[in-house]
Amino acid sequence: MNAPEQTSLSAATDMRRTLDAAAVQQLTDRIEAAQTGARAIPKLTDDFPGMTLGDGYAVQLELLRRWRAAGRRQAGWKAGLTSKAKMVQMGVTVPSIGFLLADFARAEGSTVRTDDLVHPRVECEVAFVTKADLAGPDVTRAQVLAATDFVVPAIEVIDSRFSGFKFDLPSVVADNGSSARYVTGGRALRADGLELDCLGVVLEKNGEPVAMGASTAVMGHPADAVALLVKVLHELGETLPAGSFVMSGGITEAIAVKPGDVVCARFQELGSVAVRFA
């Protein structure tokens, strides 16, 4: 049975801004230095306690603007904190989004370095590739599925740059949703031939199961997470163009990894995707 659509934005629509342009630049400097230097920093609200979700997105978009200007290509977007397990793990109550750059991608079965990461963790996700533009505040699950070219299984390597892997929602949004690397594999399949809300997945580390779940954990249906992402983009003055790569959010809690670990996510219908760390 298909789950009902659950695309209400709730608190995610609150894009109030309190920081001026100089403060946004200052915080973007901090995030950029932490990401490029692989070093932990205090959460941003320690120094800016009045920082809002809208301020966090202002920092995220300024970081994206800088990296686009430097010639880095955007591949798409990611939804984050879309499952109850991740919200509980991170102590937040609403989902978020972040951008994906093409140079974040790693080949299936490849080795990901950890010396340029701070707190590497992995999670398994259903990824969408779009064939039509999506925009506006009222996008539905059906519209997302109609605009989807195919879906693939994916592993996202997240990497919060905050000390002790402790943060709040404005800080993690500014840190681009902890985005770091992503790996796709398995089979690329049309969405209309799958029950995307009923896919089981097992996440293995070094041959042992460490987490398992079902795609219904992602807002009831992964396409609902994509619809929410489009709504947040609308709030930010952005759209989701055709040809975008979109990660719909972790199905299980994030699992810490270290050099020598081999991770494999086995998806019902979609096949498996694996990556090693060194």
In-domain check, residue 43: yes
pLDDT at 224: 94
CATH code of 191's domain = 3.90.850.10
User: At how many degrees (to 10) do helices 53-69 and 21-37 cross?
Assistant: 60
Separation CA 57–CA 255 (nearest Å):
26
Confidence category of residue 3, pLDDT binned at 50, 70, 90: very low
**Whether the predicted pLDDT of 30 surpasses 60:** yes
Q: What is the DSSP string of 80-127?
A: ES-BHHHHHHHT-SS-EEEEEEGGGEE-TT-EE-STT-SSEEEEEEEE
74 burial (CB, 10 Å; 0-12 / 13-18 / 19+) is middle
Number of domains in the chain: 1
In-domain check, residue 5: no
pLDDT at 65: 97
pLDDT at 8: 43
Return the structure tokens found at 177: 């949703």
In-domain check, residue 1: no
Q: Which domain holds residue 86?
A: 10-277
**Whether the predicted pLDDT of 221 surpasses 90:** yes
pTM of the model: 0.91
* 262-267 and 200-205 strand pairing: antiparallel
**Whether the predicted pLDDT of 120 surpasses 70:** yes
pLDDT at 93: 62
In-domain check, residue 44: yes
**Whether the predicted pLDDT of 83 surpasses 90:** no
In-domain check, residue 90: yes
In-domain check, residue 72: yes
In-domain check, residue 233: yes
Return the structure tokens found at 211: 């987490």
List pLDDT tens digits, range 41-64.
999 999 999 999 999 999 999 999
- CA-nearest of 65, 76, 71, 80 to 28 is 65
In-domain check, residue 2: no
Separation CA 257–CA 254 (nearest Å):
10
How does the average pLDDT of the chain come out, rounded?
91
SS3 59: helix
Confidence category of residue 251, pLDDT binned at 50, 70, 90: very high
